[in-house]
Amino acid sequence: MGIDGGPRTAVVVGAGVVGLSTAWFLQEHGVEVTVVDRDGVAAGASWGNAGWLSPGLAIPLNEPGVLRYGLRSLLDPRAPLHVPVTPDPALWSFLSRFALNCTWTSWGQAVRANLPFNEECLEAFDALAAGGVTAPTVEAPITAAFETERQAVALLHELRRIDRAGLPIEYTALDGDRLRREAPQISPRVRAGIRLDGQRYVDPGAFTQALADAVVARGAEIRSGFRVTGVHTASGGLTVRSDAGDQVRGDAVVVATGAWLNDLARDWGVRVPVRAGRGYSFTVPTERPVPGPVYLPAVRVACTPYQGKLRVAGTMEFRGPDDPLYRKRVDAIVASARPLLTGVSWEEMTDVWVGPRPVTPDGMPLVGATRRPGVFVAGGHGMWGLTHGPVTGRALAERIVTGKDSEVLRDFDPLR
């Protein structure tokens, strides 16, 4: 330990955006960091997501309408929400807990708990950029497109609820013609839209790699192929061991393993389940340049400019985090998005990907100390791990170094 009682060394398990952000901000406090990952940088949910940095849309998943939508979609294999027929009792237990939290009371609690993260998330990205993370963040509105005005009203109601909860969101309602002037990929079937200003996007894989490069440039080591089997107390510190017999020592350990969080954390008193809500994405060429992100709420599809093309991301599939990619889910995204977009070369699809987003049943992540002294966790951000990754890392690093309970992290207590 350091002279002030804080850790001098730390091991971060997980080289996604949450783990690397925590490593970076620990370095800001002078902590020497080693990052280990079973696969490598951005190997989980951090590579293929839509890349949105969107405090205006970082909405908890347990909105009551999701439950109604989910029950209807169980009988439709093409639906954006997919739960496979399986005898897995842990999955059905998780879904039961999730359903119990699909109330306006629980949703409102999650919205309020996330307010500090939403208010500070873009500033945390700016801190990383000022500190040497070279991947740019691009300022651009997110344009939500709807076939009917009635569909648009549902999102307007949700935005107003968030505004009443304390997070002002700047948005403008648009008719179909104005939508197509601002976003030429939107098809004539779309008749209404909402433009959310003050948002940003990134190339998520490039950003996470740039963050990893910055962490290494500041003196850290990142060790890939390190599958953690346990954390053990040794000589006043902690030893992280791998299945190959390797080990790394530190005064503190942070477990940021996304959808695999429970594999280790359940031994340290973390009882809130984290399940893989898997998302799919792919890249397609477009006839004209894509000016900014497009959201298709009715079919739960997010589209983002990506390396001169369009990244299309969607679906919420509750399978195991290591299950293979199921092509039918990709086909379902194409079938739902095709009528709403134009000038897209669907047949030239590349970069088909599936990634396990870590979902909790109450719409709030797990960030903080466990019952094991010196061991912390950070995960369960659902679809918003990229948006909230840096601000999570900053808040947790402050908690680890000072030892003081954080008001910002109170509702995210992993032992709740």
pLDDT of 213-248, one tens digit each?
999 999 999 999 999 999 999 877 999 999 999 999
- Name the phi and psi angles at 341, rounded to 5: -125, 155
Q: Residue 69 has what pLDDT? A: 62
For residue 149, is it within any domain?
yes
Cα 198 to its chain centre, rounded Å, is 19
Q: What is the pLDDT of residues 248-279, one digit of tens each?
A: 999 999 999 999 999 999 989 999 999 999 99
For residue 71, is it within any domain?
no
DSSP reduced 3-state for 104: helix
Integer Cα distance of 383 and 396 in angstroms: 19
Split into its structural domains, the chain has a count of 1
Q: Is residue 2 over pLDDT 60? A: no
Q: Which residues, other chains included, contact 56 with Cβ-Cβ below 8 Å and sequence gap of 6+?
A: 142, 159, 162, 167, 169, 170, 171, 196, 198, 199
For residue 30, is it within any domain?
no
For residue 321, is it within any domain?
yes
Q: Is residue 338 over pLDDT 60? A: yes
Average pLDDT over every residue of 353-368: 96
For residue 401, is it within any domain?
no
**CATH code (residue 194):** 3.30.9.10
Cα distances (angstroms) measured from residue 51 to each of 55, 199, 200, 219, 345: 13, 11, 9, 27, 21
| Side-chain-facing half-sphere of 206: CA atoms under 13 Å | 11
The kind and range of the H/E element at 400 are: helix 385-402
For residue 15, is it within any domain?
no
Q: What is the pairing mode between strands 192-196 and 171-175? A: antiparallel
Q: Is residue 3 over pLDDT 60? A: no
DSSP reduced 3-state for 251: coil
Domain that holds residue 85: 77-103+139-199+274-358
As given in the structure block, the two tokens for residue 149 are 């005005």
As given in the structure block, the two tokens for residue 223 are 């060790």
Average pLDDT over every residue of 148-159: 88
DSSP state, 365? -
Q: Please indicate, yes or no, whether the overall pTM of this predicted structure exceeds 0.85.
A: yes
The kind and range of the H/E element at 135 are: none
pLDDT grade for 1, boundaries at 50, 70 and 90? low
DSSP state, 281? E
For residue 5, is it within any domain?
no
Find the range with the poorest average confidence among 156-165, 191-200, 232-241: 156-165
Integer Cα distance of 170 and 267 in angstroms: 44
Integer Cα distance of 300 and 80 in angstroms: 6
Residue 376 vs residue 74, higher pLDDT: 376
For residue 131, is it within any domain?
no
The kind and range of the H/E element at 204 are: helix 204-217
Number of neighbours of residue 22 by Cβ within 10 angstroms: 30
Task: Report the percentage of the chain scoring pLDDT > 90.
Answer: 78
Q: What is the pLDDT of residues 29-53, one digit of tens each?
A: 999 999 999 999 999 899 999 999 9
| pLDDT, the chain, mean | 92
